[in-house]
Each structure stands twice: as C-alpha cells, then as structure tokens.
C-alpha cells in the first residue's frame, strides 16, 4: 500500500497530481508563515518597546536563518536523491540517504548551537544590533537555541514524507507546530509578561511537537521509506552525494543570513528604524517565498521520481505547469506590496514613523522581485534533477556575487536607499541569468535521459 503512494508520482495526471502534492505543503507553509509573522506582529505591538524589540528580533533572524539552513542540506538535498532512488527501484539506497541524513542533522545541531552560544553577543553586534536592541536579541536567541534540535529534525526530515507521496502527513507536521505557536505566543508574551523570551519559548515548544510528529511517522509501519537504525551507519558515498546536492539549497538559505548580516549592519549606521523597516519587509517577502517553497516541496518529488524513472515527457510537462504558476503567483503578490506598502507595514506596527519609512523604501527593495518566480521555478528544477554544480552557481550568484557587493558599494553613492536598491538589482539580474542557464541546460539534461 505504501508503494502505491510513490507509484502515483509516475502515473497520475500531471496537473491534478501537482496540486495534490503541493497544496498540502503550501497550506502548511502558509500556516508556518503565519506563526513566523505572528511573532513579529505581537512583538511589534508590545507597549513602549515594540519598535526596538522588533529590530532586535530582526537582527536574530540572520542567525536563525543560518542555523536552520543546515537542515536544507538534508531536507532539500537528500530528499530529491531519495526520490530518484525510489524511481529507480533502489529502496536500500533511499533508506541509507534518510538514515545518513538523520545523523547529519544531529551533527549540525551540535556544531551550530554550541558555536552560537559561545559567540552570541559578538555575532549579534556584527549583524547590526545596537545598544538599544542587543538585549532583546540575546533574550530571544538564548532561548531559541535550546530548540535547535527540534528545528533541524522537523525541517530536515519532513521533506522525506513528501518524497513518499504523502503530502498530507507532511502538512500535519507543520500545522501542529504552527497552530500551537499561534496560541502560545500571546499567552507567553502578554499573559505571562515574558516579552520576547515568551515568543522564543512558544516557538521551540511548537517545533518540538512538529519534530515528534515527523519522527513518529518515519519510524512507523505507515511509512514506505522508514527511518531505520541499520541505515544510520555513515556511508562516505551517501554523505558526499547529500552534501553535493544539498550545498545549493544550503547556500540559498545561509546566504540569506549573510545578506542579513550585511544589510542590518549597513542600515544600523543610518538608524535603528531602518533595521526595523527591513525586518518588516523581509517578513512581507515571506508571504511570497514561503508558499512558493511549499509548492516546490510538492513538485520536486514528482520531477525527481520521473527523472529516476526516465520519463522525459512527464518531466517536461511538470516544468511547463510549474513555471507558469510560480511566476504568476510571485508577480501578483510582489506587485501588490509595491503598490500598497503602507498597508503591509501597518500590519506589523502602529508606529507612524516606521510605516512612513517602509512606504518610502519598499518599492526600491522589492522591484527586482517581480520576476523572481522564474528563478524559483528553474532553480528548484535543477535541484530536482540532481544537478548539483549548476544549482550551487545559481545559489551563489544572487547573494554572494551580486547582492553583498552591491549592498556594500551602492550606499557610498546613494546613501541609505542604496542598501535597499541592492536587493532589487540582484534579484532581477539573478532571475534573468538563471532562466537563460536553464533554457540552455534543460534540453541537454533531457537528451541524456534514456
């Protein structure tokens, strides 16, 4: 029965299959997005300290993104490889990928949490914390780090549930954590008077429940690909293959952190209110990027399975549908935010000065994102097809090659707006380059399928 869920990836009608696989993941990610945004909404409305506390949480975001990005090595790198192995009928290799991925997540947890605890204050000061915001940042992060293991396991292993053709089960793992967090946030922040510490505590308790759900399913008889002790012995070839493909999504995620370091530290020179504005705009961007991430979690297993099964036509058909949906969704939402920035900002704060700041800079910050749906579609297709090298280059292009240098250079000529303009320019340039590379490489990949 479990194998039947996998086999439908290669037999069901493509459009209904994509929605059947993607909608649960999108729904889960939307609720997940809601509880991330709810954190900031609640914190931004804490009487008297909301604006500074929001800036403090914005600073910790760069560190949290870096920590959680290690889960992408296993989640976004290992799960497509497992799907390809299942498409090839090699269930033992798929099991080894899952087992070795689990051990990697444990190792990542130890390394990231220990390092961050040891150097927490210098890291936060480097990322843009000021004397007014450092206290809120350390309060939040010191508690959040206690739940690092839960974050790594729930995020890193949940994609392996999707790989088995079980998107609804994967959705539940996110919904459990999200709903709990939405309920616990006001309880801890306001009722218990814990402030930002309460927001962090609500988050890690919620992630713990999500992690328990994921592990429980993957070790149960309901799973067709189970997490088994016999597959946890580290295998050099398996580890290297996970790292090779996982480095691309890791770079995509971790460079968001690096960019956060650069943008926050650059904006802090102009005033904390610009750091707060960035925190709001990055949260607004999540309204677009998180559903697209969920959509990708749905279609990537379909592409990987059919690629492993050598079904060229289904791979092509899937891409045509995906690129239309991802581009249209991204374009419409980003355009709305550019046209109505004050409306977006008012959801996060009632500080009129902060709302006006967002109104001025959001169009500059988001203009390049209007076409970014093209990159999301093409880059996820490269990952689904196991194309590690080109995926790494595209991941590096947007953030490391373009955005970081621009964020350091443009303020010298444009002042404060240059920091925000760097995002728009790099996003548009990277999207165009990625689309052109895909247009050249995709036919070549298809020709190699026999």
Domain boundaries, the chain: 11-234, 283-448
User: What are the backbone angles phi and psi of residue 233, rounded to the nearest 5°?
Assistant: -65, 125
Cα distances from 76 to residues 101, 109, 327, 426, in angstroms, run 11, 17, 21, 23
Selection from 363, 261, 302 nearest residue 14 by Cα: 302
- pLDDT of the residue at 191: 86
Q: What is the pLDDT of residues 313-329, one digit of tens each?
A: 999 999 999 999 999 99
Type and span of the H or E element at 386: none
- Max Cα distance, the chain (Å): 65
Q: Are 22 and 269 in contact (CB under 8 A)?
A: no
Nearest-angstrom CA–CA distance, 218 and 266: 44
Nearest-angstrom CA–CA distance, 258 and 263: 9
Nearest-angstrom CA–CA distance, 205 and 309: 40
Q: Which segments of the chain have a pLDDT < 50?
A: 1
- pLDDT of the residue at 1: 44
Residues 6+ apart with CB under 8 A from 236: none
Indicate if the alpha-carbon torsion angle 349, 353, 356, 357 is positive or negative.
negative
What pTM did the predictor assign?
0.73
- pLDDT of the residue at 233: 94
Residue 182 exposed, middle or buried by CB count within 10 Å (0-12, 13-18, 19+): middle
Q: Are 181 and 199 in contact (CB under 8 A)?
A: no
Cα distances from 404 to residues 74, 233, 251, 270, 363, in angstroms, run 26, 39, 13, 18, 19
The count of other CB atoms within 10 Å of the CB of residue 244 is 17
Residue 336 exposed, middle or buried by CB count within 10 Å (0-12, 13-18, 19+): middle
- pLDDT of the residue at 114: 94
User: What are the backbone angles phi and psi of residue 348, rounded to the nearest 5°?
Assistant: -105, -20
Nearest-angstrom CA–CA distance, 299 and 23: 10
Residues 6+ apart with CB under 8 A from 9: 17, 21, 83, 87, 165, 301, 302, 305, 306
């Amino acid at each position: 029965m479990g194998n039947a869920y996998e086999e439908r990836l290669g037999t069901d009608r493509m459009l209904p299959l994509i929605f059947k696989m993607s909608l649960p993941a999108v729904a889960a990610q939307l609720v997940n997005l809601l509880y991330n945004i709810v954190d900031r909404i609640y914190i931004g409305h804490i009487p008297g300290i909301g604006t500074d506390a929001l800036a403090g949480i914005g600073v910790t975001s760069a560190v949290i993104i870096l920590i959680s990005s290690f889960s992408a090595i296993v989640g976004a790198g290992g799960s497509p490889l497992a799907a390809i192995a299942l498409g090839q009928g090699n269930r033992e290799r798929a099991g080894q990928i899952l087992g070795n991925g689990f051990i990697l997540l444990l190792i990542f947890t130890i390394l990231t949490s220990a390092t961050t605890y040891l150097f927490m204050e210098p890291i936060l000061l480097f990322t843009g914390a000021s004397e007014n915001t450092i206290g809120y940042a350390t309060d939040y992060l010191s508690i959040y780090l206690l739940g690092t293991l839960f974050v790594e396991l729930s995020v890193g292993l949940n994609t392996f549930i999707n790989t088995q053709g079980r998107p609804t089960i994967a959705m539940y793992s996110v919904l459990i954590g999200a709903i709990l967090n939405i309920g616990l946030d006001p309880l801890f922040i306001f009722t218990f008077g814990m402030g930002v510490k309460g927001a962090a505590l609500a988050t890690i308790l919620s992630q713990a429940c999500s992690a328990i759900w994921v592990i429980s399913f993957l070790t149960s008889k309901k799973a067709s690909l189970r997490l088994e002790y016999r597959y946890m012995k580290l295998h050099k070839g398996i580890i290297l293959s996970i790292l090779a493909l996982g480095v691309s999504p890791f770079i995509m995620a971790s460079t968001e952190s690096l960019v956060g370091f650069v943008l926050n530290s650059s904006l802090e020179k102009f005033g904390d209110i610009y750091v707060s504005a960035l925190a709001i705009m990055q949260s607004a961007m999540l309204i677009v990027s998180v559903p697209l991430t969920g959509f990708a979690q749905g279609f990537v297993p379909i592409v990987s399975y059919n690629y492993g099964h050598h079904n060229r036509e289904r791979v092509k058909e899937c891409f045509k549908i995906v690129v239309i949906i991802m581009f249209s969704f991204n374009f419409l939402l980003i355009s709305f935010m550019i046209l109505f920035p004050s409306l977006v900002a008012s959801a996060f704060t009632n500080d009129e000065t902060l709302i006006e700041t967002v109104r001025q800079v959001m169009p500059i910050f988001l203009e390049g994102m209007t076409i970014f749906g093209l990159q999301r579609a093409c880059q996820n297709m490269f990952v689904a097809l196991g194309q590690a090298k080109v995926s790494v280059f595209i991941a590096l292009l947007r953030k490391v090659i373009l955005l970081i240098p621009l964020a350091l250079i443009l303020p010298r000529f444009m002042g404060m707006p240059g920091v925000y303009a760097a995002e728009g320019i790099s996003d548009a340039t990277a999207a165009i380059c990625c689309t052109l590379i895909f247009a050249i490489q995709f036919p070549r990949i298809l020709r190699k399928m026999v």
